[in-house]
Structure 1
Amino acid sequence: MASKSKILVIGATGYIGKHIVLASARQGHPTFALVRASARADQPPAKAKLLQDFQAAGVTLLHGDLYDHGSLVSAIKQVDVVISTVGFLQWKDQTKIIDAIKDSGADIKRFLPSEFGHDVDRVNAVESTKSTFDIKVQIRRAVEASGIPYTYVCSNFFAGYFLPTLGQAGVTGLPTDKVVILGDGNVKAVFVDEDDIGAYTVKAVDDPRTLNKALYLRPPGDILSHNELVSLWEKKVGKTFKRVYVSEEEVLKKIQESSVPLNAIDAIHHSPVPLNVLIYAIHHSVFIKGDHTNFEIEPSFGVEASELYPDVKYTSVDEYLNRFL
């Protein structure tokens, strides 16, 4: 059996990064996390605890920074696979990782840029979400031009972001009397548990079937329309909620009224778009335009994770919702 690749995660302590780091360690990969060298006293307790968890799992902490070329090159020289999970304020700056991979002289088997959402080459997003997705598109083209082997992980919705509100935009918790649904509620979306995103991502790094392709996370039990999601929750709690449907015209009007000037969008990593605008635009893309499921996965550009890795016992939406009972 071939030895498992050594994996470096950049953005290791971020929302999805920590799940990938721990999945890598669990699957037996020598795992390295790039972390900024800051005094222990300066770290928030949660981050200090996370770094302790990493070390307890056998993860090697490498001090470095996305903006310190020397430390990036040094870290990359120690591994076979580089996974970026940086947040959207740093998406554009992943060109620094591409440059460091090239300058390292290392035989990097795979680079996974920070994706973990929609397939940005196949979206019908409106502004201001379109501009944020365009940054990911630019990074994809830069990776391809570099000749570095890659995999793009299209994980769709993070369950931990969208299921605690039952898929509603602009609310902070589960419904008590009504549910607001964008569109007709019949468009299918995909909600994937973050631990499962980690497991599927790490499975892909040494798999020749995912080389230079997109890995789509569409486990069957994670694919539901908004109406199906509401019905599932109603059955669990034994209650019926009033469903308030919002037309696409009304959604677009809300996005436009809340929007920011185009010049601010162009400079997104310096002037972030207001969160409520992004949320409504993302919901429009998924629940009205169907950007998670409105295309077939063709072998020429992609593969589906639950088909490739049936051994991953993923958490279905049905099971996930039981956490809220």
Structure 2
Amino acid sequence: MASKSKVLVVGGTGYLGKRIVKASLAQGHPTYVLQRPEIGLDIDKLQMLMSFKELGAKLIEGSFSDHQSLVDAVKQVDVVICAMSGSSLRSQLKLVDAIKEAGNVKRFLPSEFGMNPARMGHALEPGRVPFAEKMEVRKAIEGANIPFTYVSANCFGGFFVGNLSQMGPLTPPKGKVTIYGDGNVKAIFLDEDDIAAYIIKTIDDPRTLNKTVYLRPSENILTHRELIGIWEKLTGKQLEKSTISSDDFLASMKDMDYGVQVAVGHLYHIFYEGCLTNFELEEGEEEEASKLYPEVNYTRMDEYLKRYL
């Protein structure tokens, strides 16, 4: 039986990164986590790193301001998974340089994990910016002939399910809910632990080499109305519903700060345009994770929502 690849997780203390570390360990991979001096006095991150050690992970010191330290870290593993986000996306270019120089990495999974940026060139500003940055990283990866897998995980449950995809708090609305458009556009929702499990499944799989893998478990492909209906069934209470047109929804962006404008733009593409489900996968270039790995017993959204009762 082939040995499991050694995995380095960059951004392992982040929202998804910590789940990737645990999934890697759970699936039997020798797991390493980059410990960056940039965490400074962040005691929560430090203690999380210590908890990874207790689970069996190894910590490797490295900094994005020290190229050689990244090269040295990368040389110790077979697979690199980056889970950095937000303003850190472009810093992955330094990681690409290190992987290229090291020359030993069998697979690199850059920080993507949401909508496929290759399909979002038309995205509204300023929400187009992170897609453009991810595409810049992809160009560098492919230009350096680094073996890759890109993962499109669609809607994270913590941001889209617990609040029924409402703007504002991340907990379910109490009495009223806004439906986007007619509420019948399909979206895709996933438990973050399932996302991490699927990610790790791909890393030693020749079927996913140099491809994009979509997470599209069939029972989690739901309309906005269906998602709201699940919560109403669980609580036994009907929410007061109102709808908002695409024009009014986009007009609401005008006086919002940058970060909220990005979120509104992405919600528009998901719930009005149907960008997660309005296309077929390209044969030979794209794969669907729940078909590749039917053994993953993914969380359905009624189970996910029960934690909010």
Q: TM-score scaled by structure 1?
A: 0.91
Distance 1:198 1:69 in 2: 28
Aligned-pair CA distance for 1:172: 4.2
| 1:115 alignment counterpart | 112
Query: In the alignment, does 2:16 pair up with 1:16?
Result: yes
Aligned-pair CA distance for 1:151: 0.3
Q: In 2 relative to 1, CA 28–141 (structure 1 residues): closer, same or farther, beyond 3 Å?
A: same
> Aligned partner of 2:113: which letter?
F
SS at structure 1 position matched to 2:119: coil
Does the 8 A contact of 1:69 with 1:96 survive in 2?
yes
Does the 8 A contact of 1:170 with 1:276 survive in 2?
no
Provide structure 1 residue ranges, at least 5 long, that are not aligned to the other structure: 260-272
Does the 8 A contact of 2:89 with 2:133 survive in 1?
yes
Provide structure 2 residue ranges, at least 5 long, that are not aligned to the other structure: none
What is the correspondence of 1:62-81 to structure 2 with a 5 Å cutoff?
62-81=60-79
| 2:291 alignment counterpart | 307
Does the 8 A contact of 1:76 with 1:100 survive in 2?
yes
Distance 2:183 2:66 in 1: 47
Distance 1:171 1:85 in 2: 24
Moved over 4 A (4+): none
| 1:285 alignment counterpart | 269
SS at structure 2 position matched to 1:23: helix
| 2:158 alignment counterpart | 160
Does the 8 A contact of 1:169 with 1:283 survive in 2?
no
> Deviation string for 1:69-97 (max 9, x for gaps)?
11100000000111111112111121111
Distance 1:64 1:125 in 2: 34
| 1:267 alignment counterpart | none
Query: In the alignment, does 2:216 pair up with 1:218?
Result: yes
Does the 8 A contact of 1:170 with 1:280 survive in 2?
no
> Aligned partner of 2:258: which letter?
P
SS at structure 1 position matched to 2:252: helix
Q: In 2 relative to 1, CA 49–221 (structure 1 residues): closer, same or farther, beyond 3 Å?
A: farther
> Aligned partner of 2:300: which letter?
S
Aligned-pair CA distance for 1:9: 0.7
Does the 8 A contact of 2:39 with 2:45 survive in 1?
no
Identity between Structure 1 and Structure 2 (%): 47
Aligned-pair CA distance for 1:49: 3.1
Q: In 2 relative to 1, CA 38–189 (structure 1 residues): closer, same or farther, beyond 3 Å?
A: closer
Q: In 2 relative to 1, CA 38–136 (structure 1 residues): closer, same or farther, beyond 3 Å?
A: closer
What is the correspondence of 1:1-325 to structure 2 with a 5 Å cutoff?
1-37=1-37, 42-44=41-43, 46-105=44-103, 107-123=104-120, 124-255=122-253, 257-258=254-255, 274-325=258-309
Aligned-pair CA distance for 1:38: 7.1
Distance 2:42 2:238 in 1: 45
Equivalent pairs, count: 308
Q: TM-score scaled by structure 2?
A: 0.96
